[in-house]
Amino acid sequence: MGNRKSSFNCTLFQCRTKDKRSIWESEIKPQLHVLSMQNPR
């Protein structure tokens, strides 16, 4: 669990140095989709 969180923080840091939209589409958005699949409401 902690490993996933640290990699997610890395992605957030990369948002500052790279194109935010491309990082969002390729990294954060898929992760949020997986989280929503794992935790249905």
Which segments of 1-41 does DSSP mark as H helices, in order?
Answer: 2-17, 20-23, 29-38
pLDDT tens, position by position, 19-40: 666 767 788 788 888 888 887 6
Average pLDDT over residues 7-21: 58
The model's pTM is 0.31
Is the confidence at residue 9, as pLDDT, over 80? no
Number of domains in the chain: 1
Look up the domain containing 30 and give its range. Answer: 2-38
